[in-house]
Structure 1
Amino acid sequence: MSLNKFYSSLNSQLEGLLSAERDWLANTANASALLFMELEDINWAGFYFLHGDELRLGPFQGKPACTRIPVGAGVCGTAVSSGESQLVEDVHQFPGHIACDAVSASEVVVPLYDNNGHCLGVLDIDSPTVARFTAEDLAGLQGFAQVLLKSSDLPQS
């Protein structure tokens, strides 16, 4: 199956999973579980939510994680400070990388924005394999994030 078809199917699964629920916390919990179940070769999938000048751990699947990340620090904090998704082939080469799990080798982070352009947090996925994620993965995960955002009552920013 092509990656485009995979992400189309994944996004349809997410839409179905969230169709009867609008709660942001419940939906991000189920979204992280779906990603962890369906994506191959990952070791962490979850969310960090923006509180002031730091990201705080939200629902996730995987090993215990860092609970607070300053905006601008690591891959997640860089995604927030730059306003751009991050596709990192080798996290050990990323300046200021925060190693919550030493096994993680590559990472993709998608910032989450409300309808007013305020950052709510990030979707973060790690893999133990260098260069696990491609531009197609990034596009698919950005689409996944959009399904989540439109299917949920977003927290007040």
Structure 2
Amino acid sequence: AFAKDGTVTAGNASGINDGAAALVLMRADNAAKRGIEPLARIVSWATAGVDPATMGTGPIPASRLALQKAGWKVGDLDLIEANEAFAAQALAVNKEFGWDPVKVNVNGGAIALGHPIGASGARVLTTLLFEMQQRDAKRGLTTLCIGGGMGVALCVQRD
């Protein structure tokens, strides 16, 4: 799985773990009608891609687009949950944005917590939402790289 002289190793790559997740999305008026208090509101989202040779950096254009659609800047974010498939990939994304490392993956990312393929989006979102609740944070961003050079990002806000 790893090249003999490669820079990606089992120690700096996320483990592929078993996992499952479920999320409930609904309109605010439906939540109110049912007496459900939303954890947050989706402000914007975006998908974007890069050359597959630089797979892992797809979150850069996706996050830029999601932030632009929200009318936010990186400095407006209270917390960021960025899936880290590989340490080098996470460092490249963090460096590009100049994110405050104190705000990124505050409970550990996928290298520490695991990368349940097919459930990673729900995992990073619920991790972000519960930490935002814990800290009374208002604005957050989740982002994932997807094989083939794609990236996805989601901006959420707690009112």
Using CA pairs below 8 Å that are at least 6 residues apart, which structure has the higher relative contact order? 2
Instruction: Mark yes or no: TM-score above 0.5.
Output: no
Report the TM-score, using the length of structure 2 for normalisation. Answer: 0.35
TM-score (norm 1): 0.35
